[in-house]
Structure 1
């Protein structure tokens, strides 16, 4: 049994690569030997340097700019990114919170869905378009090679080997094409969802709705679509609970009553702790690997420490949001 990830020299695009979770995901793929196209709208986050890392400043909601960004990664690494992690999103920690939907302007709802849902759709569309082009190019190469085999065999290029003459004569042909396509098996789209897509967020339906849309509707629709384009293409979502980022720790420290950590990461969480950021990155590697996740597609992977629900009211009936 092969226990290697098999991701060496693969090309991956990570959106939201400069974020608190995105940058750890980038590090994980670099450690696995991948070439990484790191997309983020904020160039000030482009601090990490690595020979296999290519930063691109781009707004994921701009389809034309995203297309150019994707092509720049292909040109830089001379390879189609068959792996993609959609980590770009308006983080709940940085979205304006409301005690009720009554106080939320419609413009905020639209903006959150534009970034978190439409941006993810654009990224997913580009990934699948390029997988489709790659698949057709590989098929064409295989057909040409098979034709060369037959012609060379008929001409007796390799004597008794006949139809396999081209393989022996120049090391190419059908076997070479098959070897080429074998390298294309790590074809995976991973969308970062959230527990908010399952449990909702009182006062922030914008965020909850945006995450529900991508981790359910988009993933479940894309999984069969991708498999039709290429049988090895897989689409999944990782949905973390409260994550132990620097920002979450700051919020907990700023919380005067001292209940935030208990409410978000302890009271209804079996493990009684926030989610480890590296654990999310490691799950991305597992889902990206054809060796480790060959039949995993259309799935929502919940990394939440066994969280079973939310708290809305304290013991005397006061709202906890």
Structure 2
């Protein structure tokens, strides 16, 4: 019987994670460090000092072309070409203003959400692909390993988000616009380059139980009514999905796919019980 090597083989791979100081981002960074990777963590928040020899923290605004380019230079100067990129940073539902109807949303919110979530992901993907192309053109392609881009989408990109169409539209842009485009593009730049998306459902971040306590119906509506496993997703599960897609040893033939890490979510609750029976 043939023996199986079940190691991730991510050791000494340079992985760059945007949004690396956030709740899910910090868990993702820890996962890659545990796998032996060199990690550059980009975040809009001021960087904290790191004593880990394989971790570089860089402050960057992914919506700014100049900021992304400067951050990429710091990353490559420290650890070499970014082989694997995780485009995780975005404005999420915990920070965006929620509206009862699209009719109340101001265009500035729509524009800013697209600047960060859609344009920021584009700039991140472009910087990664340019770096890979430069390595190939300089004859270093054979030294690359685990070359891939993992973008982070959302259940909202599948099902929409009443009150936050800005967020849902940006995630749909990533999942149904950027992903299929890069599916055809990336292998033409480097034959082994892969691009995939992890699309989480409601995630059990430290903010989630607070939000549920403030809104008693939220747990049922978001993580139970239309969720087969009747529970939110753990942050570590999202990180493991990202690491799986980053590893050529585990997912070399997974390309152009959306990995739904959502506890089996099938849609949004259209009406609450209170809306259907106002006399309750």
TM over 0.5: same fold? yes
* Kept after mapping to 1: 8 A contact 2:32/2:39: yes
In the TM superposition, what is the alpha-carbon distance from 1:317 to its structure 2 partner?
3.3
Please point out which of 34, 37, 47 is paired with 2:37.
34
Partner of 2:83: 82
Runs of 4+ in 1 over 3 A off after TM superposition: 315-320
Partner of 2:20: 17
Provide the rounded CA distance (Å) in 2 between the counterparts of 1:231 and 1:97: 43
Gaps of at least 5 residues in structure 2 are: none
* Kept after mapping to 2: 8 A contact 1:117/1:214: yes
In the TM superposition, what is the alpha-carbon distance from 1:254 to its structure 2 partner?
1.8
In the TM superposition, what is the alpha-carbon distance from 1:318 to its structure 2 partner?
4.7
Gaps of at least 5 residues in structure 1 are: 140-179
1:220 paired to 2:222: no
Partner of 1:303: 261
Max Rg structure: 1
Q: How does 1:123-142 map to 2 (within 5 A)?
A: 123-138=124-139
Partner of 1:2: 5
Provide the aligned length of Structure 1 versus Structure 2: 275
In the TM superposition, what is the alpha-carbon distance from 1:47 to its structure 2 partner?
6.1
1:194 paired to 2:149: no
1:56 paired to 2:21: no
Provide the rounded CA distance (Å) in 2 between the counterparts of 1:37 and 1:268: 37
Partner of 2:68: 66
Provide the rounded CA distance (Å) in 2 between the counterparts of 1:185 and 1:20: 27
For normalisation by structure 1, the TM-score amounts to 0.83
CA 1:199/1:47 → structure 2, altered by over 3 Å: closer, same or farther? farther
Q: CA RMSD in A?
A: 1.6
Provide the rounded CA distance (Å) in 1 between the counterparts of 2:222 and 2:268: 8
* Kept after mapping to 2: 8 A contact 1:83/1:187: yes
